[in-house]
Amino acid sequence: MRASRPILPWVVWGVAAIAYAVAVINRSSLSALGPAAQEHFGIDATTLSIFPVIQLLVYAGLQIPVGVLLDRIGATLMILIGGGLMIVGQVAMATVPDVWLAILARVLVGAGDACTFISVMRMLPEWFSLRQLPTISQVTGLIGQGGQLVSVVPLALLVSGTSWMGGFVGLAALGVLITILGFAVLRNEPGDATLIERMLGRRGKITENARSFADTSTAALRSVPPPPTELITVAPTTSRGMSFWHRARGLLQIPGVRLAYWLHFLSPFASNVFILLWGTPFLTGGLGLDDSAARGLLSLTVISSMAASVFLGPLSSRFIERRVWMNVAITVAIAIIWIAVMLWPGKPPLAVVVVLLIVIPIGGPASLISFEVARSHTPRSYSGFATGLVNTGGFTSSLGVLLLIGLVLDLLGAGSPEDYSLAAFKVAFSVQIPFWVFGIAMVVIEQRRTKRWMEDNGRTLR
């Protein structure tokens, strides 16, 4: 009789993916609330920009420490710790009267967000086969983008229909619900107990009988595991701090890990910068659209990103040897449409703007290819560390572009809403160009080194 297919992997993944979507809602909760935040706290646009900058700094800065901790305590606990930090942050955001306390609240939100995504990605290989992982990763990203869609429209309507406190307390309540669900459902791997089972001191039948799709991987895929830890040279040391840096240096000796970092650096920053902060000012202050039209176009970016996730997963899984160039091709397309808008004489037609807003968000799903590359080249015991390291790439580039756009606008005398102009925005957004050129150059260099390294070590892609 044919064995039944396991259901638990889908349940665990579903809860983990929803936890990631809630993290994205928390991350982008100010994307459509800029004017509301200015009115609530009585702040100018410069102070408003501190919110996403601080949040990105915290997120990027914590990726490697969170990755190290993830390898030690597991994905389940890290997801729940992240949820708890975001709950506290949003309750504070709802209740504190002072803007600097609100910025501290965003630090907590950024810290919780930093714990979530890489933990979910770390959990996936324990439950799904290698052939399933590219598609599952992209669908996870799609669900996360759904969270971004919630923050763009429903959250903004909730705040305007109730109050600032009502909107953010509602977010915290959603976080509590998902955290409780995580306590009851999430498991690091088949056979591992949930946190509720750990507290009760016994495991249920579901846990004892848990099976994974990873158990059904083909022999061919099993024969090409990630490189063994012995390929990484780690010099012995008695200092914990030095041990950390020796581990990081050893991991970076594998060119495939460096390639994954630069892929993540390259493709998502245009989308992150646009959606997190500068999209609404560009659409309203640069193109002269009203707030409702701007929200509608921002929703289009999220829908485009979700649609791209549906196609990129199967494509990267089927054409595994070309997945790096998929990322590069998408980035080139983003650069071309942005440069066309920058060089357009006067105000570009709405059709060109729509194409821009359809193309640039595809860089987000394309960045998930970097985690597939990292998984192919990272020893299992370094998985969390490598995921955190790679995930810093896109947020490092996003932070640099975010700050440079604001700096250029200030230098051009267009740093406040009443002074915004399309000409100033075109010049400011051109700071993306050197990031694209540099990122593509590094991807090409590391791709060649990776190919040579694989040949030298007798390895093939999986």
DSSP 2: P
Cβ(286)–Cβ(422) under 8 Å?
yes
CA distance 132 to 280: 37
CA distance 417 to 278: 11
- Burial of residue 165 (CB within 10 Å: 0-12, 13-18, 19+) is middle
Question: Which amino acid is present at 141?
Answer: G
Domains within the chain, CATH numbers bracketed = 1-214 (1.20.1250.20), 240-462 (1.20.1250.20)
**pLDDT value, residue 417:** 73
**pLDDT value, residue 35:** 65
Q: Torsions phi, psi of 42, nearest 5?
A: 65, 50
Nearest one of 235, 276, 258, 350 to 33, comparing CA atoms:
276
Structure tokens belonging to residue 410: 């200030």
DSSP 462: -
Nearest one of 79, 152, 68 to 112, comparing CA atoms:
79
State which residues of the chain have pLDDT below 70: 1-5, 32, 34-35, 44-46, 152, 214-245, 247, 459-462
- pTM for the whole thing? 0.73
DSSP 6: P
Is residue 232 classed as helix, strand or coil in its secondary structure? coil
**pLDDT value, residue 146:** 79
Other C-beta atoms closer than 10 Å to the C-beta of 169 total 17
Structure tokens belonging to residue 235: 């010099």
**pLDDT value, residue 460:** 65
Nearest one of 347, 349, 338 to 285, comparing CA atoms:
347
Instruction: Go through 98-123 and write b for each residue having 16 or more CB atoms within 10 A of its CB, e for each that does not.
Output: ebeebbebbbbbbbbbbbbbbbbbbb
Q: Torsions phi, psi of 27, nearest 5?
A: -60, -45
Q: Torsions phi, psi of 282, nearest 5?
A: -65, -45
**pLDDT value, residue 153:** 72
CB within 8 Å of 93: residues ≥ 6 apart = 29, 102, 105, 106, 109, 168
- Burial of residue 301 (CB within 10 Å: 0-12, 13-18, 19+) is buried
**pLDDT value, residue 425:** 92
CA distance 76 to 92: 25
